[in-house]
Amino acid sequence: LTTSEPELKAMGYDVGEGHITAATYFESLNSDSNKDFLALYHHRYGRDEPVDMCLEAAFFQVNLWARALAATNTQDPRLLRSAVLGSDINAPQGNVAINPTYGHADLWSRIGRANHRGQFDVVYESDGCIASDPYMISYGRSLANINPD
């Protein structure tokens, strides 16, 4: 079960307290890039609306696209893709890179436990962003022999 900050608000902080979620981003992260992101968001939309991993992903992805658009001065998808592949950005979750092989984002891994304030206390965090492996190529066939019983 994945729970995010907006869902905690909807269900009630007392009901959500203790829920555990794996995510790339939590609103409670204590970094300058996250503080700047939250300040921009709250200035625009107010402090009553919580922020979640989906909003954070949209934010950094649009910023990557805007940076590629400025660099290429074109809307040609092939040129934009070339400008984005291998790039990185200081996202609210931390530095994120676009994997040059797969075109997927290399993201952080975190586990958080919901508290009584509707935020997540991070109980685990990777040392940095983790290389994307969208087709599970690095796992080989080892997972094919797992018996679910």
Q: In which band, very low, low, confident or very high, does the pLDDT at 1 lie, cut at 50, 70 and 90?
A: low
Between 3 and 115, the higher pLDDT residue: 115
So where are the chain's domains? 5-145
User: In the prediction, which pLDDT does 49 show?
Assistant: 87
What would the pLDDT profile of 70-90 be if each residue is shown by its tens digit? 999 999 999 999 999 999 999
- The alpha-carbon radius of gyration of the chain (Å, integer) is 18
Q: What is the mean pLDDT of residues 22-44?
A: 96
Which parts of 46-85 fold into alpha helices (H)? Answer: 53-72, 77-84
Mean pLDDT rounded to a whole number for the chain: 91
d(CA 120, CA 137): 32
pTM: 0.86
12 vs 148, more confident:
12
Looking at residue 47, its pLDDT comes to: 81
Query: Residue 103: which of 77, 125, 128 has the closest Cα?
Result: 77
Question: What pLDDT digit, counting tens, does each position of 106-149 carry?
Answer: 999 999 999 999 999 999 999 999 999 887 777 665 555 555 55
